[in-house]
Structure 1
Amino acid sequence: MNFFRKPSPQEQMKAQQKDLRKAARDVDRSKREMERQEKQLEIDIKKAAKEGNKQACNILAKQLVQLRKQKSRCLVANSQIGAISNQSKVMQANTKLAGAMATSAKTLANVNAQTNTGQIIKTMQDFERENTKMEMKEELIDETLNAILDNSGDEAEEDAVISQVLDEIGIEITGKLAEAPVARGAIGAGSSKAKDKQMTDEELEAQLARLKT
Protein backbone atom coordinates (compact mmCIF):
# COMPACT_ATOMS: atom_id res chain seq x y z
CA MET A 1 0.00 0.00 0.00
CA ASN A 2 1.33 3.41 -1.02
CA PHE A 3 1.12 5.91 1.84
CA PHE A 4 2.61 8.78 -0.18
CA ARG A 5 0.16 11.02 -1.97
CA LYS A 6 1.27 12.95 -4.99
CA PRO A 7 1.09 16.68 -4.19
CA SER A 8 -1.37 18.76 -6.13
CA PRO A 9 -0.17 21.53 -8.51
CA GLN A 10 -1.06 24.14 -5.88
CA GLU A 11 0.99 22.33 -3.24
CA GLN A 12 3.92 22.00 -5.64
CA MET A 13 3.83 25.72 -6.39
CA LYS A 14 3.71 26.58 -2.68
CA ALA A 15 6.76 24.38 -2.12
CA GLN A 16 8.57 26.08 -5.01
CA GLN A 17 7.77 29.51 -3.59
CA LYS A 18 9.10 28.40 -0.21
CA ASP A 19 12.37 27.18 -1.80
CA LEU A 20 12.73 30.43 -3.76
CA ARG A 21 12.21 32.54 -0.66
CA LYS A 22 14.85 30.50 1.20
CA ALA A 23 17.30 30.93 -1.68
CA ALA A 24 16.67 34.68 -1.75
CA ARG A 25 17.35 34.90 1.99
CA ASP A 26 20.61 32.95 1.56
CA VAL A 27 21.72 35.29 -1.22
CA ASP A 28 20.88 38.35 0.87
CA ARG A 29 22.81 36.91 3.78
CA SER A 30 25.83 36.26 1.54
CA LYS A 31 25.55 39.77 0.11
CA ARG A 32 25.58 41.35 3.56
CA GLU A 33 28.59 39.27 4.51
CA MET A 34 30.47 40.36 1.39
CA GLU A 35 29.63 44.00 2.08
CA ARG A 36 31.11 43.61 5.54
CA GLN A 37 34.25 42.03 4.07
CA GLU A 38 34.43 44.77 1.44
CA LYS A 39 34.48 47.49 4.09
CA GLN A 40 37.12 45.62 6.08
CA LEU A 41 39.36 45.21 2.98
CA GLU A 42 39.07 48.92 2.25
CA ILE A 43 40.18 49.65 5.82
CA ASP A 44 43.11 47.19 5.52
CA ILE A 45 44.18 48.65 2.17
CA LYS A 46 44.22 52.18 3.61
CA LYS A 47 46.21 50.94 6.62
CA ALA A 48 48.76 49.13 4.42
CA ALA A 49 49.11 52.24 2.25
CA LYS A 50 49.84 54.39 5.27
CA GLU A 51 52.50 51.90 6.36
CA GLY A 52 54.00 51.95 2.85
CA ASN A 53 53.45 48.21 2.39
CA LYS A 54 52.90 48.10 -1.37
CA GLN A 55 52.84 44.31 -1.62
CA ALA A 56 50.08 44.04 0.98
CA CYS A 57 48.13 46.77 -0.80
CA ASN A 58 48.28 44.83 -4.08
CA ILE A 59 47.16 41.57 -2.47
CA LEU A 60 44.32 43.23 -0.61
CA ALA A 61 43.27 45.13 -3.75
CA LYS A 62 43.05 41.87 -5.73
CA GLN A 63 40.90 40.37 -2.97
CA LEU A 64 38.67 43.45 -3.06
CA VAL A 65 38.22 43.13 -6.84
CA GLN A 66 37.31 39.45 -6.54
CA LEU A 67 34.95 40.19 -3.69
CA ARG A 68 33.18 42.90 -5.65
CA LYS A 69 32.80 40.53 -8.63
CA GLN A 70 31.27 37.95 -6.34
CA LYS A 71 29.00 40.63 -4.91
CA SER A 72 27.81 41.51 -8.45
CA ARG A 73 27.10 37.84 -9.08
CA CYS A 74 24.97 37.77 -5.93
CA LEU A 75 23.01 40.79 -7.13
CA VAL A 76 22.37 39.07 -10.49
CA ALA A 77 21.38 35.83 -8.76
CA ASN A 78 19.04 37.70 -6.45
CA SER A 79 17.38 39.37 -9.44
CA GLN A 80 16.99 36.03 -11.19
CA ILE A 81 15.45 34.47 -8.11
CA GLY A 82 12.96 37.36 -7.92
CA ALA A 83 12.10 36.93 -11.61
CA ILE A 84 11.60 33.19 -11.17
CA SER A 85 9.38 33.82 -8.14
CA ASN A 86 7.26 36.28 -10.11
CA GLN A 87 6.97 33.83 -13.01
CA SER A 88 5.94 31.11 -10.60
CA LYS A 89 3.25 33.37 -9.15
CA VAL A 90 2.00 34.18 -12.64
CA MET A 91 1.90 30.47 -13.49
CA GLN A 92 0.02 29.79 -10.27
CA ALA A 93 -2.52 32.52 -11.11
CA ASN A 94 -2.90 31.12 -14.64
CA THR A 95 -3.39 27.65 -13.22
CA LYS A 96 -6.14 28.90 -10.93
CA LEU A 97 -7.72 30.75 -13.85
CA ALA A 98 -7.57 27.64 -16.00
CA GLY A 99 -9.20 25.64 -13.20
CA ALA A 100 -11.96 28.22 -12.88
CA MET A 101 -12.52 28.17 -16.64
CA ALA A 102 -12.65 24.38 -16.62
CA THR A 103 -15.24 24.46 -13.85
CA SER A 104 -17.27 27.08 -15.73
CA ALA A 105 -17.08 25.05 -18.93
CA LYS A 106 -18.27 21.96 -17.09
CA THR A 107 -21.14 23.90 -15.54
CA LEU A 108 -22.16 25.31 -18.91
CA ALA A 109 -22.01 21.84 -20.43
CA ASN A 110 -24.32 20.52 -17.69
CA VAL A 111 -26.73 23.41 -18.22
CA ASN A 112 -26.76 22.88 -21.97
CA ALA A 113 -27.31 19.17 -21.48
CA GLN A 114 -30.27 19.84 -19.19
CA THR A 115 -31.76 22.54 -21.43
CA ASN A 116 -34.30 21.19 -23.90
CA THR A 117 -34.54 23.91 -26.53
CA GLY A 118 -37.33 22.16 -28.38
CA GLN A 119 -39.41 21.84 -25.22
CA ILE A 120 -38.89 25.53 -24.38
CA ILE A 121 -40.01 26.56 -27.88
CA LYS A 122 -43.05 24.26 -27.66
CA THR A 123 -43.97 25.70 -24.25
CA MET A 124 -43.77 29.25 -25.60
CA GLN A 125 -45.88 28.31 -28.61
CA ASP A 126 -48.46 26.62 -26.37
CA PHE A 127 -48.61 29.71 -24.18
CA GLU A 128 -49.14 31.96 -27.19
CA ARG A 129 -51.87 29.69 -28.56
CA GLU A 130 -53.73 29.46 -25.24
CA ASN A 131 -53.38 33.19 -24.70
CA THR A 132 -54.93 33.82 -28.11
CA LYS A 133 -57.78 31.45 -27.27
CA MET A 134 -58.41 33.27 -24.02
CA GLU A 135 -58.53 36.65 -25.79
CA MET A 136 -60.97 35.26 -28.38
CA LYS A 137 -63.20 33.80 -25.66
CA GLU A 138 -63.13 37.10 -23.78
CA GLU A 139 -64.23 38.98 -26.90
CA LEU A 140 -66.99 36.42 -27.52
CA ILE A 141 -68.25 36.73 -23.94
CA ASP A 142 -68.23 40.53 -24.18
CA GLU A 143 -70.18 40.44 -27.45
CA THR A 144 -72.71 38.00 -25.98
CA LEU A 145 -73.21 40.10 -22.86
CA ASN A 146 -73.64 43.25 -24.93
CA ALA A 147 -76.20 41.50 -27.13
CA ILE A 148 -78.15 40.25 -24.09
CA LEU A 149 -78.12 43.62 -22.37
CA ASP A 150 -79.05 45.52 -25.55
CA ASN A 151 -82.00 43.17 -26.26
CA SER A 152 -83.32 42.78 -22.74
CA GLY A 153 -86.93 43.53 -23.83
CA ASP A 154 -87.55 45.86 -20.91
CA GLU A 155 -89.31 48.49 -23.01
CA ALA A 156 -90.76 50.32 -20.01
CA GLU A 157 -87.32 50.89 -18.55
CA GLU A 158 -85.99 51.88 -21.94
CA ASP A 159 -88.84 54.39 -22.43
CA ALA A 160 -88.17 55.87 -19.00
CA VAL A 161 -84.51 56.38 -19.88
CA ILE A 162 -85.44 57.97 -23.20
CA SER A 163 -87.96 60.25 -21.50
CA GLN A 164 -85.35 61.32 -18.99
CA VAL A 165 -82.88 62.12 -21.75
CA LEU A 166 -85.53 64.05 -23.69
CA ASP A 167 -86.49 65.97 -20.57
CA GLU A 168 -82.89 66.97 -20.12
CA ILE A 169 -82.73 68.01 -23.75
CA GLY A 170 -86.00 69.88 -23.36
CA ILE A 171 -84.68 71.78 -20.37
CA GLU A 172 -81.64 72.73 -22.35
CA ILE A 173 -83.80 73.72 -25.31
CA THR A 174 -86.04 75.77 -23.01
CA GLY A 175 -83.07 77.65 -21.71
CA LYS A 176 -81.91 78.44 -25.21
CA LEU A 177 -85.34 79.24 -26.69
CA ALA A 178 -86.20 81.54 -23.78
CA GLU A 179 -83.62 83.95 -25.09
CA ALA A 180 -84.41 83.50 -28.81
CA PRO A 181 -87.21 85.37 -30.75
CA VAL A 182 -90.21 83.40 -32.04
CA ALA A 183 -90.37 83.13 -35.83
CA ARG A 184 -93.42 84.17 -37.84
CA GLY A 185 -95.98 81.42 -38.35
CA ALA A 186 -94.53 79.31 -35.54
CA ILE A 187 -96.77 77.44 -33.14
CA GLY A 188 -98.44 79.87 -30.72
CA ALA A 189 -97.26 82.90 -32.70
CA GLY A 190 -99.66 85.90 -32.77
CA SER A 191 -98.90 89.12 -34.50
CA SER A 192 -95.48 90.35 -35.50
CA LYS A 193 -95.17 91.89 -32.04
CA ALA A 194 -95.09 88.34 -30.52
CA LYS A 195 -91.59 87.62 -31.87
CA ASP A 196 -90.09 88.77 -28.57
CA LYS A 197 -92.43 86.51 -26.51
CA GLN A 198 -90.94 83.47 -24.74
CA MET A 199 -92.13 79.90 -25.53
CA THR A 200 -95.12 78.86 -23.38
CA ASP A 201 -95.48 75.56 -21.51
CA GLU A 202 -97.96 74.28 -24.10
CA GLU A 203 -95.52 74.97 -26.92
CA LEU A 204 -92.75 73.18 -25.01
CA GLU A 205 -94.95 70.12 -24.49
CA ALA A 206 -95.86 70.11 -28.19
CA GLN A 207 -92.19 70.33 -29.09
CA LEU A 208 -91.36 67.38 -26.81
CA ALA A 209 -94.31 65.39 -28.24
CA ARG A 210 -92.90 65.79 -31.73
CA LEU A 211 -89.48 64.69 -30.53
CA LYS A 212 -90.97 61.52 -29.02
CA THR A 213 -92.79 60.52 -32.25
Structure 2
Amino acid sequence: MARHLYKTSTPSTRNGAVDSQVKSNPRNNLIYGQHRCGKGRNARGIITAGHRGGGHKRLYRKIDFRRNEKDIYGRIVTIEYDPNRNAYICLIHYGDGEKKYILHPRGVIIGETIVSGTEVPIKMGNALPLTDMPLGTAIHNIEITLGKGGQLARAAGAVAKLIAKEGKSATLKLPSGEVRLISQNCSATVGQVGERRELNPRMVDSQSTALIHLATSTLQYFKDK
Protein backbone atom coordinates (compact mmCIF):
# COMPACT_ATOMS: atom_id res chain seq x y z
CA MET A 1 0.00 0.00 0.00
CA ALA A 2 1.05 3.62 -0.56
CA ARG A 3 2.81 5.35 2.33
CA HIS A 4 2.51 8.95 3.45
CA LEU A 5 5.79 10.29 4.83
CA TYR A 6 5.68 13.04 7.45
CA LYS A 7 7.83 16.15 7.17
CA THR A 8 10.23 16.20 10.13
CA SER A 9 8.99 19.30 11.96
CA THR A 10 9.25 17.82 15.47
CA PRO A 11 11.17 14.87 16.97
CA SER A 12 7.95 12.84 17.15
CA THR A 13 7.40 13.09 13.38
CA ARG A 14 10.95 12.04 12.47
CA ASN A 15 10.83 9.06 10.05
CA GLY A 16 7.06 9.08 10.43
CA ALA A 17 5.02 7.12 7.90
CA VAL A 18 1.41 6.00 7.77
CA ASP A 19 -0.72 4.20 5.23
CA SER A 20 -2.26 6.77 2.92
CA GLN A 21 -5.37 4.65 2.28
CA VAL A 22 -6.49 4.60 5.91
CA LYS A 23 -9.22 7.15 6.65
CA SER A 24 -10.39 8.47 10.02
CA ASN A 25 -13.71 10.18 9.18
CA PRO A 26 -16.55 7.65 9.76
CA ARG A 27 -20.08 7.76 8.32
CA ASN A 28 -22.54 9.55 10.60
CA ASN A 29 -25.23 6.86 10.38
CA LEU A 30 -22.78 4.14 11.49
CA ILE A 31 -21.54 5.77 14.71
CA TYR A 32 -23.01 6.65 18.08
CA GLY A 33 -21.73 8.06 21.35
CA GLN A 34 -21.10 5.91 24.39
CA HIS A 35 -21.32 7.06 28.00
CA ARG A 36 -18.21 5.85 29.78
CA CYS A 37 -19.74 5.04 33.14
CA GLY A 38 -18.04 3.58 36.18
CA LYS A 39 -14.61 5.19 36.18
CA GLY A 40 -13.55 2.88 38.99
CA ARG A 41 -16.49 3.74 41.28
CA ASN A 42 -19.08 1.43 42.81
CA ALA A 43 -22.83 2.10 43.19
CA ARG A 44 -22.15 4.48 46.10
CA GLY A 45 -19.66 6.53 44.10
CA ILE A 46 -16.66 5.32 46.10
CA ILE A 47 -13.42 4.56 44.22
CA THR A 48 -12.89 0.79 44.32
CA ALA A 49 -10.42 0.50 41.41
CA GLY A 50 -7.71 3.12 41.21
CA HIS A 51 -6.40 4.97 38.17
CA ARG A 52 -9.55 4.48 36.08
CA GLY A 53 -11.41 7.01 33.97
CA GLY A 54 -10.41 9.88 31.74
CA GLY A 55 -9.13 9.26 28.26
CA HIS A 56 -10.16 10.70 24.94
CA LYS A 57 -13.80 10.79 23.86
CA ARG A 58 -14.68 8.04 21.38
CA LEU A 59 -17.50 7.42 18.95
CA TYR A 60 -18.45 3.75 18.67
CA ARG A 61 -18.55 2.31 15.16
CA LYS A 62 -21.39 -0.13 14.42
CA ILE A 63 -19.61 -3.27 13.22
CA ASP A 64 -21.54 -5.91 11.27
CA PHE A 65 -20.61 -9.14 13.05
CA ARG A 66 -23.64 -11.03 11.66
CA ARG A 67 -22.82 -10.68 7.94
CA ASN A 68 -26.46 -11.35 7.06
CA GLU A 69 -26.39 -9.78 3.58
CA LYS A 70 -26.65 -13.19 1.94
CA ASP A 71 -25.48 -13.65 -1.67
CA ILE A 72 -25.15 -9.88 -2.17
CA TYR A 73 -21.72 -8.75 -3.29
CA GLY A 74 -20.14 -5.81 -1.52
CA ARG A 75 -17.18 -3.64 -2.48
CA ILE A 76 -14.56 -2.42 0.00
CA VAL A 77 -14.63 1.37 -0.28
CA THR A 78 -12.40 2.50 2.60
CA ILE A 79 -10.13 1.13 5.30
CA GLU A 80 -10.69 3.21 8.43
CA TYR A 81 -9.18 3.76 11.86
CA ASP A 82 -11.28 2.65 14.85
CA PRO A 83 -10.29 4.02 18.28
CA ASN A 84 -12.17 1.20 20.03
CA ARG A 85 -9.98 -1.65 18.75
CA ASN A 86 -6.45 -2.41 17.57
CA ALA A 87 -7.65 -3.58 14.15
CA TYR A 88 -8.76 -1.44 11.24
CA ILE A 89 -12.32 -1.62 9.90
CA CYS A 90 -13.64 -1.63 6.31
CA LEU A 91 -16.62 0.24 4.91
CA ILE A 92 -18.58 -2.04 2.56
CA HIS A 93 -21.00 -0.83 -0.13
CA TYR A 94 -23.39 -3.68 -0.98
CA GLY A 95 -25.23 -4.08 -4.24
CA ASP A 96 -28.62 -3.40 -2.62
CA GLY A 97 -27.46 0.01 -1.33
CA GLU A 98 -26.60 -1.02 2.24
CA LYS A 99 -23.41 0.35 3.81
CA LYS A 100 -21.82 -1.48 6.74
CA TYR A 101 -18.55 -1.77 8.64
CA ILE A 102 -16.72 -5.08 9.06
CA LEU A 103 -13.40 -6.02 10.62
CA HIS A 104 -10.53 -5.62 8.17
CA PRO A 105 -9.36 -9.07 7.00
CA ARG A 106 -5.60 -9.25 6.62
CA GLY A 107 -4.45 -8.77 3.05
CA VAL A 108 -7.73 -7.35 1.74
CA ILE A 109 -7.37 -4.02 -0.11
CA ILE A 110 -9.67 -1.26 -1.32
CA GLY A 111 -11.67 -2.19 -4.42
CA GLU A 112 -11.97 -5.91 -3.70
CA THR A 113 -15.39 -7.55 -3.42
CA ILE A 114 -16.69 -9.81 -0.65
CA VAL A 115 -19.85 -11.85 -0.19
CA SER A 116 -21.53 -13.99 2.44
CA GLY A 117 -23.71 -17.03 1.81
CA THR A 118 -23.81 -20.81 1.71
CA GLU A 119 -22.00 -21.56 -1.56
CA VAL A 120 -19.45 -18.77 -1.93
CA PRO A 121 -15.74 -19.02 -2.83
CA ILE A 122 -13.18 -19.64 -0.08
CA LYS A 123 -11.69 -16.16 -0.32
CA MET A 124 -10.34 -13.68 2.23
CA GLY A 125 -13.23 -11.70 3.71
CA ASN A 126 -16.03 -14.00 2.56
CA ALA A 127 -18.40 -15.34 5.24
CA LEU A 128 -19.99 -18.79 5.04
CA PRO A 129 -21.11 -21.66 7.30
CA LEU A 130 -18.47 -24.01 8.70
CA THR A 131 -20.11 -26.93 6.89
CA ASP A 132 -19.05 -25.43 3.52
CA MET A 133 -15.42 -24.85 4.52
CA PRO A 134 -12.60 -27.35 3.88
CA LEU A 135 -10.48 -28.58 6.77
CA GLY A 136 -7.50 -26.39 7.61
CA THR A 137 -9.24 -23.12 6.70
CA ALA A 138 -8.06 -20.08 8.68
CA ILE A 139 -11.09 -18.17 10.00
CA HIS A 140 -12.14 -15.34 12.32
CA ASN A 141 -15.35 -13.69 13.59
CA ILE A 142 -16.87 -17.07 14.48
CA GLU A 143 -20.45 -17.55 15.65
CA ILE A 144 -21.17 -19.56 18.79
CA THR A 145 -24.97 -19.34 18.53
CA LEU A 146 -26.55 -19.49 15.07
CA GLY A 147 -27.70 -16.05 13.93
CA LYS A 148 -26.23 -14.16 16.89
CA GLY A 149 -23.16 -12.94 15.03
CA GLY A 150 -19.46 -13.55 15.42
CA GLN A 151 -18.15 -13.73 19.00
CA LEU A 152 -14.81 -15.57 18.73
CA ALA A 153 -11.48 -14.52 17.17
CA ARG A 154 -12.28 -10.84 16.69
CA ALA A 155 -9.16 -9.22 18.16
CA ALA A 156 -6.41 -7.73 15.99
CA GLY A 157 -4.33 -10.51 14.44
CA ALA A 158 -6.65 -13.24 15.74
CA VAL A 159 -7.15 -16.39 13.67
CA ALA A 160 -8.70 -19.79 14.37
CA LYS A 161 -8.37 -23.04 12.41
CA LEU A 162 -10.98 -25.58 11.35
CA ILE A 163 -9.38 -28.92 12.21
CA ALA A 164 -12.21 -31.50 12.10
CA LYS A 165 -15.88 -32.16 11.31
CA GLU A 166 -17.97 -34.89 12.88
CA GLY A 167 -21.73 -35.21 12.79
CA LYS A 168 -23.31 -31.79 13.24
CA SER A 169 -20.30 -30.28 15.02
CA ALA A 170 -17.02 -28.77 13.87
CA THR A 171 -13.80 -28.72 15.88
CA LEU A 172 -11.93 -25.42 15.98
CA LYS A 173 -8.55 -24.50 17.38
CA LEU A 174 -8.91 -21.00 18.82
CA PRO A 175 -6.14 -18.36 19.13
CA SER A 176 -5.79 -19.22 22.83
CA GLY A 177 -4.98 -22.84 21.94
CA GLU A 178 -8.36 -24.07 23.18
CA VAL A 179 -10.03 -26.76 21.06
CA ARG A 180 -13.77 -26.22 20.91
CA LEU A 181 -16.83 -27.86 19.34
CA ILE A 182 -19.24 -25.58 17.46
CA SER A 183 -22.26 -26.32 15.28
CA GLN A 184 -21.40 -26.61 11.60
CA ASN A 185 -24.35 -24.33 10.80
CA CYS A 186 -22.60 -21.40 12.47
CA SER A 187 -20.81 -19.04 10.11
CA ALA A 188 -17.34 -17.52 10.14
CA THR A 189 -15.23 -15.22 7.99
CA VAL A 190 -12.31 -16.59 5.98
CA GLY A 191 -8.87 -15.25 6.85
CA GLN A 192 -7.17 -13.48 9.73
CA VAL A 193 -8.09 -10.19 11.38
CA GLY A 194 -5.72 -7.46 10.19
CA GLU A 195 -3.45 -5.45 12.47
CA ARG A 196 -2.61 -1.76 12.55
CA ARG A 197 1.10 -2.45 12.89
CA GLU A 198 1.29 -4.30 9.57
CA LEU A 199 0.13 -1.16 7.71
CA ASN A 200 2.11 1.33 9.79
CA PRO A 201 5.90 0.85 9.76
CA ARG A 202 6.27 3.01 12.90
CA MET A 203 4.36 0.43 14.95
CA VAL A 204 7.05 -2.27 14.91
CA ASP A 205 8.25 -3.40 18.33
CA SER A 206 11.88 -3.31 19.38
CA GLN A 207 12.25 -7.08 19.13
CA SER A 208 11.19 -7.09 15.48
CA THR A 209 13.54 -4.19 14.77
CA ALA A 210 16.43 -6.07 16.40
CA LEU A 211 15.70 -9.16 14.28
CA ILE A 212 15.65 -7.04 11.12
CA HIS A 213 19.01 -5.48 11.99
CA LEU A 214 20.45 -8.92 12.78
CA ALA A 215 19.30 -10.35 9.44
CA THR A 216 20.65 -7.31 7.56
CA SER A 217 24.05 -7.47 9.24
CA THR A 218 24.27 -11.23 8.60
CA LEU A 219 23.57 -10.75 4.88
CA GLN A 220 26.16 -7.97 4.71
CA TYR A 221 28.73 -10.20 6.42
CA PHE A 222 28.31 -12.99 3.85
CA LYS A 223 28.39 -10.48 0.97
CA ASP A 224 31.72 -9.10 2.19
CA LYS A 225 33.21 -12.61 2.35
State the TM-score, normalized to the length of structure 2.
Answer: 0.16
Q: Which is higher, the Rg of structure 1 or of structure 2? A: 1
Larger strand share, 1 or 2 = 2
